[in-house]
Amino acid sequence: MKRKIVVLGGGISGYGSAILAKKKGFDTFLSDMGTIAPKFRERLDEWGVEYEEGRHTEERILDANEVIKSPGIPDTAPIVVKIRERGIPVISEIEFAARYKGVAKTICITGSNGKTTTTSLIYKIMRDAGRKVSLGGNIGESFAYSVATEKHFWHVLELSSFQLDGCFKFKADIGVLMNITPDHLDRYDYKLENYARSKMRIAENQTAADAFIFSADDELTQQMLAEMDNGLRARQLPFAINTAIASGDGDAILEGHTFTATVGSKSVTVDTRKMQIEGMHNVYNAMAAALATLAAGIDPKQIKRSIYDFSPVEHRLEPAGTDNDIQWVNDSKATNVDSVWYALESMKRPTVWIAGGTDKGNDYTPLKEFARKKVKALICMGVDNTKLLREFEGIVPIIHDCHTFEEAMIAARKEATEGDTVLLSPACASFDLFRNYEERGRMFKAWVKENVLNK
């Protein structure tokens, strides 16, 4: 009798998991409480996967031998609670797909900030070097779909804490932890230590044959490493800007405008002034990427070429246009305080800052000094801006309380004058006014194009 796999959620993670389960001969059923996007429905139909949308048929779901849960579905969802009460194992797409990846290796990147840029840069370096590589996890294609449909020798995966929560035996051959700062605390009982433990799962199952890359400047990472029950078995490859480090396995250190990354006998030296991605946060990202790809055996000259050639990721400090010497910058991916800290840190001109959305238990204290020095006007854009208004009153001279996208954009245009930067860097999730941060960023760019650049 076939084992029964139920996939919860019909997004990019879910449809890929269902197709891989079907290919491997499982009795497969996908259930989504919402609507499945037409492109995913087409692929499910193509593979003959049985699915439902707009409901959860409990009798069918609770008959599963194993459930693959999409990362966007919280553990508190009623159907998930019932599944766990039945004692049915609940895993993530990453855990499931890794069982069938064969000899392929994984480079896995997690962290509160910088993971998308670092993942994209690692993927570019690997691809430029001619490796057969997939891009997946939180960005790119579904990891499970890539495993089901193509033969890759490397999988570069951006992993969120939610994806790691569903991993138990999964092991990263090369694990990268960029940093740990408060984020998604609403999913972790508002306890930073719970969120931090989720991030540390990236290193839990690693062996001495694997590599673990981490920031030696990040205090919470260092604290969590010290508290790991079984210690860290992988080779340690730290990177740092502010901390003196020396690791026998390798490291990356910034001196002046250049950093040198070393793994074993191989080194690469990068002049950060030649990089297209600016700001100290991108120096961290490039150092991590250099260490990861050196550990993967890529030639140092190729690593340097690819780093210099790499352009900014969409929605992360992405230039949206300049008119009358007013710069418009799309940083919609900055959905937490630490991301905004890096954004404001990189601002060199008076800033009109657009922020707001669904607050995730944010502490805005770290932003107040930058806000006082650099922000001439704060445009609050959200259904409920009470917290932002309270936190920045008396710190930013002009604050607008806007409840629609259009209202916020008009206010930003009104406040910006020659020599300013208008920065969309929300510090919050997008779900009150938008489907996701991508929609928010694209609407911002489209509005700038139509109302500023083509006026």
Number of folded domains that form the chain: 3
What are the Cα distances from residue 394, in Å, to 337, 361, 400? Answer: 19, 22, 13
377 and 268 in one domain?
A: no
Residues 196 and 333 in one domain: no
Q: Dihedral of CA 110/39/318/389: which sign?
A: negative
The helix/strand/coil state of 170 is coil
Domain endpoint, select from 309, 333, 360 = 309
Mark whether 354 and 303 lie in a shared domain.
no
- Within 150-244, residue ranges assigned H as helices are 161-165, 192-204, 219-227
* Same domain membership, residue 299 and residue 236: yes
Choosing from 309, 329, 346, the residue where a domain stops is 309
- Altogether, the residues listed in the chain come to a count of 455
* CA distance linking residue 134 with residue 241, whole number of Å: 30
From 343, 387, 381, select the one nearest 365 (Cα to Cα).
Answer: 387
Q: What is the CATH number of the domain that holds 444?
A: 3.90.190.20
- 189, 256: one domain: yes
- What is the per-residue pLDDT for 229? 55
Tokens 């008396």 map to which residue?
394
From 251, 277, 309, the end of a domain falls on 309
Dist. CA 66–CA 84, nearest whole Å? 10
The answer on 85 and 119 residing in a single domain is no
CA distance 159 to 141: 13
Q: Which two tokens stand for residue 202?
A: 């990236």
The pLDDT, as a whole number, for residue 224 is 79
CA distance 161 to 269: 32
Tell me if 107 sits within 8 A of 173, measured CB to CB.
Answer: yes
**pLDDT at residue 194 in the model:** 65
- Please tell me whether residues 304 and 427 are part of one structural domain: no
134 and 263 belong to one structural domain: yes
Asked if 206 and 175 count as a contact pair (C-beta separation under 8 A), the reply is yes
Domain region containing 242: 95-309
Segment holding 291, helix H or strand E: helix 280-295
User: What pLDDT, on the 0 to 100 scale, is given for residue 160?
Assistant: 81
Residue 217 sits in a domain whose CATH number is 3.40.1190.10
182 and 300 inside one domain: yes
| 3-class secondary-structure state, position 177 | strand
pLDDT at 189: 55
Give the span between the Cα atoms of 145 and 269, in whole angstroms. 36
Which residue stretches of the chain have pLDDT < 70? 182-195, 228-231, 455
| Strands, E assignment, 178-297 | 211-215, 235-240, 250-255, 258-263, 266-271
Bridge partners of residue 31, in order along the sequence: 8, 52
pLDDT value of position 281:
86
Residue 187 pLDDT: 56
pLDDT at 111: 85
Position 186 scores a pLDDT of: 59
Please say whether the beta carbons of 30 and 10 come within 8 A: yes
Q: How far is CA 300 from CA 268, 276, 307, in A?
A: 5, 19, 11
Q: Tell me, what's the pLDDT at 139?
A: 81
Give the HSE-up count for residue 47: Cα atoms under 13 Å, Cβ half-sphere: 27
> What are 378-413's pLDDT values in tens digits?
999 998 899 999 999 999 999 999 999 999 999 999
| CATH code, domain with 14 | 3.40.50.720
pLDDT of residue 290: 98
- Cα atoms in the 13 Å half-sphere on the side-chain side of 17: 29
Burial profile 292-324: b = 16 or more Cβ within 10 angstroms, e = fewer:
bbbbbebebebbbebbeebebbebbbbebbeee
Task: Give yes or no: residues 303 and 232 share one domain.
Answer: yes
pLDDT recorded at residue 400: 97
Q: Looking at the structure, do residues 108 and 66 belong to the same domain, yes or no? A: no
- Let me know whether 167 and 55 are in one domain: no
Residue 406, CA distances (Å) to 331, 411, 447, 449 in order: 17, 9, 9, 14
